[in-house]
């Protein structure tokens, strides 16, 4: 590890030649300069950067190269570049020195992917072929301090090539259903995207079981059919799967006899072919075997399991038939059902039907008001073009659950990096947990569910982006950028984040989400580039200044995280300056509540609040702890739920509106809500 304290003059360049810190892959140490030099700002992210691996091992012009590790940071904290340092040796042998760098964009703390452009490739691999030996260094120029921090992968070994000839050993033969994934044993495969792709070519004949040989008379000839393969080991460019699609075998049971070959199509327009191998498949009938009984609510999936399902391409269809009854919850009489449900193809073994308001079932039932059970005989068919095959029917049921609004809380790399501005980076998981706890408390007694993982059981769900900087450039702390006012929550799939063109056309800011860095404007001493907002308060600084790097605070360390104690009440916050553990607990509690409350506020806008049925977006009257009051009617201590301020909640009329559109059977956890007026 080397350390150098830079003068202000030396720090003017983005990437000065001096190396300030090398971070070993096994040792993390915080360093600072003392006497005789300007003090270096303590930044909590610098000791966490580690590069662990690079892939693929064989690189080509325009390959997408992935660097894996941890602690990578986005442009909120610094500008990143990669340097290749070492030599490239050819078979002659010729040895070429390499010192090549390129700026990279970081969107993930654990991986960086960049394109090896032809120019960059020619610098790493001057002869086009050979072997690179050396180090791959990640350098980050800090925006706050102008210091350059680096970590590197030593003894990196990459093989250079201009083209690859695919090698095909075997394609697994046997008994399969249509759309099964079949193993391909192969190497020297292209990975798609910019460098090129590998396909498999099939020549042969398929003979249905109800037809007599010869296949060339009564079967379906297959001449030069090509389809993409999925590489299973991209790092080594080895092995793959090919999907046994209806375009190869149709949907009727029978036998495929074929010869297959791989082709590599490179970005330079050249192609290379493998040797040819034999392949045979016995195709089994399609089957419906199981209906997931748990069911779902409006916008959610009903799952049907089996084998040989089709869909997703023109002329392909899996249809589920239902002959039975709907048994509603409560005392209402049952309703007879005779339905044809079109399933969304997921795989050979799974199709999913989305509960919606537009098809037969959605027209027969009010899925926003009714719940119950669909019971009966389930059958159906698969179809491809003019071919079709029926399922044997089964007896089953599925539940239709009360309506719920699922909210996906999406954290970006910017969220994590913005926490570093507060000195709270290592408490990322604890803050996220408190965000969901706070939002869930606010929506207690309502049919709203917050999730940190992207839902895979619902097609229609809301999404809130938790990020670092306001892309609108106006310092918003949160913004619902969904178009219009969705009174009654008719959409269910609002996206609060990214950019909405329709919102921009209305003259409003286009980018939405919750913007962590903007909360620093509640400080009376915000960092450079931010100004105090009208709600700035000393309380904010008492909570966060002990950790903020720009105020000479000490960011929370990993060993302090291990001793962290969560609190559920903020009346004792801020803690004493001498109580480091209490300060940490208060900072996590306050940050989670601020962000969770802001997220809950923006979600409520997307649900139609405030002023249901009207055009206003906030409550008219400023009342203590009312969540839907306007921005600076909600002071910091209310947002953070500290210093005896209590916690924010929906006033009575706002809660009643939400309960009407998203009811649950649970009692209101706050039976003494105050009026909005």
pLDDT in tens, 407-461: 999 999 999 999 999 999 999 999 999 999 999 999 999 999 999 999 999 999 9
SS3 540: helix
- 496 and 629 in a single domain? The answer is yes
- 316 and 274 in a single domain? The answer is no
- The confidence score (pLDDT) of residue 144 equals 87
- The confidence score (pLDDT) of residue 35 equals 33
- 371 and 394 in a single domain? The answer is yes
- Asked if 384 and 251 count as a contact pair (C-beta separation under 8 A), the reply is yes
User: Is 543 inside a domain boundary?
Assistant: no
Q: How far is CA 13 from CA 10, 74, 143, in A?
A: 7, 19, 11
Q: Mean pLDDT score of the chain, rounded to an integer?
A: 91
Q: Which two tokens stand for residue 398?
A: 């599925």
- The confidence score (pLDDT) of residue 479 equals 84
- Asked if 478 and 599 count as a contact pair (C-beta separation under 8 A), the reply is yes
Distance CA 645, CA 355 (A): 43
Interval 661-676: pLDDT, tens: 999 999 999 999 999 9
* Minimum mean pLDDT range among 401-405, 533-537, 603-607, 610-614: 610-614
Helices 428-442 and 413-422 cross at an angle (nearest 10°) of: 100
Residue at which a domain ends, from 160, 175, 197: 160
- 105 and 230 in a single domain? The answer is no
Q: Which two tokens stand for residue 107?
A: 């969107």
Q: What percent of the chain is predicted at pLDDT more than 70?
A: 92
Exposed/middle/buried for residue 305 (C-beta within 10 Å: 0-12, 13-18, 19+): middle
User: Is 495 inside a domain boundary?
Assistant: yes
- 203 and 80 in a single domain? The answer is no
Residues 6 or more apart whose Cβ sits within 8 Å of residue 497: 410, 463, 464, 465, 467, 481, 511, 512, 513
Q: How many structural domains does the chain have?
A: 4
Cβ burial 420-448 (10 Å sphere, 16+ → b, else e): bbbbbbbbbebbbbbbbbbbbbbbbbbbb
- 315 and 425 in a single domain? The answer is no
β-partners of residue 153 are 136
Distance CA 508, CA 494 (A): 17
Q: Which two tokens stand for residue 91?
A: 């078979």
- 178 and 276 in a single domain? The answer is yes
DSSP secondary structure string, 494-522? -EESEE-HHHHHTTS-SEEEEEGGGGGGG
User: Is 288 inside a domain boundary?
Assistant: no
Interval 249-261: pLDDT, tens: 999 999 999 999 9
User: Is 602 inside a domain boundary?
Assistant: yes
Q: What is the CATH number of the domain that holds 47?
A: 2.60.40.10
- 22 and 123 in a single domain? The answer is yes
Nearest partner of 135 among 101, 175, 160, judged by Cα: 101
- 246 and 204 in a single domain? The answer is yes
To 5 degrees, how large is the angle CA 518–CA 522–CA 525? 100
- 321 and 258 in a single domain? The answer is no
Residue at which a domain ends, from 236, 251, 283: 283
- 218 and 367 in a single domain? The answer is no
Q: Domain span at residue 252?
A: 167-283
Checking DSSP bridges between strand 254-266 and strand 271-283, what pairing results, if any?
antiparallel
Distance CA 610, CA 601 (A): 10
Range list of β-strands (E), 74-208:
78-89, 95-104, 111-115, 130-142, 148-160, 167-171, 174-176, 181-187, 196-208
User: Is 109 inside a domain boundary?
Assistant: yes
The number of beta carbons lying within 10 Å of the beta carbon of residue 45 is: 23
Exposed/middle/buried for residue 543 (C-beta within 10 Å: 0-12, 13-18, 19+): buried
Asked if pLDDT for residue 475 goes beyond 60, the answer is: yes
User: What secondary structure, in 3-state letters, does 394-423 show?
Assistant: EEEEEEECCCCEEEEEEECHHHHHHHHHHC
User: Is 267 inside a domain boundary?
Assistant: yes
**Tokens 């779902």 belong to which residue?**
296
- Asked if 540 and 524 count as a contact pair (C-beta separation under 8 A), the reply is yes
Q: How far is CA 254 from CA 250, 487, 656, in A?
A: 9, 54, 60
Interval 484-521: pLDDT, tens: 788 899 999 999 987 654 444 455 566 889 999 999 99
Q: What is the CATH number of the domain that holds 481?
A: 3.40.390
- 466 and 614 in a single domain? The answer is yes
Residue at which a domain ends, from 283, 316, 335: 283
Residues 6 or more apart whose Cβ sits within 8 Å of residue 444: 666, 668, 669, 670
User: Is 357 inside a domain boundary?
Assistant: yes
- The confidence score (pLDDT) of residue 509 equals 61
User: Is 558 inside a domain boundary?
Assistant: no
Asked if pLDDT for residue 283 goes beyond 80, the answer is: yes
Distance CA 655, CA 659 (A): 6
């Amino acid at each position: 590890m080397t350390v150098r304290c830079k003068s202000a003059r030396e720090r003017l360049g983005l990437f000065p030649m001096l190396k300030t810190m090398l971070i070993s892959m096994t040792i993390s140490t915080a360093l600072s300069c003392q006497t005789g030099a300007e003090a270096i700002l303590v930044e909590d992210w610098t000791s966490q950067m580690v590069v662990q691996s690079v892939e693929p091992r064989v690189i080509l012009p325009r390959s997408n190269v992935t660097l894996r590790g941890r602690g990578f940071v986005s442009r909120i904290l610094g500008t990143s570049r990669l340097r290749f340092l070492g030599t490239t040796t050819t078979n002659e042998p010729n040895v070429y020195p390499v010192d090549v760098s390129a700026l990279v964009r970081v969107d993930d703390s654990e991986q960086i992917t960049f394109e090896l452009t032809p120019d960059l490739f020619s610098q790493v691999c001057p002869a086009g072929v050979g072997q690179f030996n050396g180090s791959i260094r990640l350098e980050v120029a800090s925006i706050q301090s102008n210091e350059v921090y680096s970590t590197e992968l030593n003894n990196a070994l990459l093989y250079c090539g201009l083209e690859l000839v695919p090698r095909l050993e075997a394609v697994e033969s046997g008994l399969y259903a249509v759309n099964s994934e079949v193993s391909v044993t192969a190497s020297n495969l292209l990975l798609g995207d910019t460098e090129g792709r590998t396909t498999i070519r099939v020549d042969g004949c398929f003979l249905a079981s109800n037809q007599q040989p010869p296949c060339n008379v009564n079967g379906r000839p297959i001449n030069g059919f090509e389809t993409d393969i999925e590489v299973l080991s991209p790092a080594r460019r080895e092995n793959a799967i090919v999907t046994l699609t209806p375009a190869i075998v149709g949907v009727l049971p029978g036998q495929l006899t074929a010869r297959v070959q791989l082709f590599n199509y490179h970005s330079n327009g050249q192609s290379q072919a493998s040797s040819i191998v034999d392949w045979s498949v016995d195709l089994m009938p399609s089957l419906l075997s199981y209906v997931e009984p748990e069911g779902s609510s409006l916008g959610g999936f009903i799952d049907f399991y089996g084998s040989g399902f089709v869909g997703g391409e023109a002329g392909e269809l899996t249809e589920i038939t239902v002959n039975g009854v709907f048994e509603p919850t409560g005392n209402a009489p049952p309703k007879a059902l005779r339905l044809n449900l079109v399933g969304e193809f997921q795989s050979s073994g799974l199709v999913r039907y989305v509960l919606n308001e537009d098809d037969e079932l959605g027209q027969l039932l009010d899925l926003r008001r009714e719940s119950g059970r669909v019971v009966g005989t389930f059958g159906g068919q698969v179809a491809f073009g003019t071919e079709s095959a029926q399922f044997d029917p089964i007896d089953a049921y599925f539940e239709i659950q009360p309506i719920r609004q699922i909210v996906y809380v999406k954290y970006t790399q910017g969220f994590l990096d913005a926490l570093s501005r507060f000195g709270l980076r290592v408490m990322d998981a604890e803050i996220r947990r408190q965000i969901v706890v706070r939002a869930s408390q606010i929506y207690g007694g309502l049919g709203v569910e917050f999730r940190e993982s992207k839902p895979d059981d619902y097609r229609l769900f809301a999404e809130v982006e938790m990020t670092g900087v306001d892309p609108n450039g106006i310092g918003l702390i949160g913004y619902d950028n969904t178009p219009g006012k969705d009174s009654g929550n008719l959409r269910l799939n609002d996206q609060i984040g990214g950019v909405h063109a329709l919102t921009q056309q209305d003259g409003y800011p286009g980018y939405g989400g919750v913007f962590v860095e903007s909360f620093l404007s509640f400080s009376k001493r915000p960092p450079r580039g931010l100004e105090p907002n009208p709600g700035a308060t000393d309380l904010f600084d008492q909570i966060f200044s002990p950790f903020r790097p720009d105020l000479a605070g000490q960011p929370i360390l990993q060993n302090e995280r291990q001793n962290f104690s969560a609190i559920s009440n903020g009346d004792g916050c801020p803690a004493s300056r001498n109580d480091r553990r209490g300060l940490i607990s208060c900072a996590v509690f306050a940050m989670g509540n601020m962000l969770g409350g802001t997220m809950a506020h923006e979600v409520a806008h997307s649900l139609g609040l405030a002023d249901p049925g009207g055009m206003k977006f906030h409550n008219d009257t400023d009342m203590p702890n009312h969540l839907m009051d306007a921005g600076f009617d909600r002071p910091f201590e209310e947002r953070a739920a500290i210093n005896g301020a209590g916690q924010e909640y929906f006033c009575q009329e706002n809660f009643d509106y939400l309960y009407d559109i998203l009811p649950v059977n649970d009692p209101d956890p706050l039976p003494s809500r105050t009026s909005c007026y």
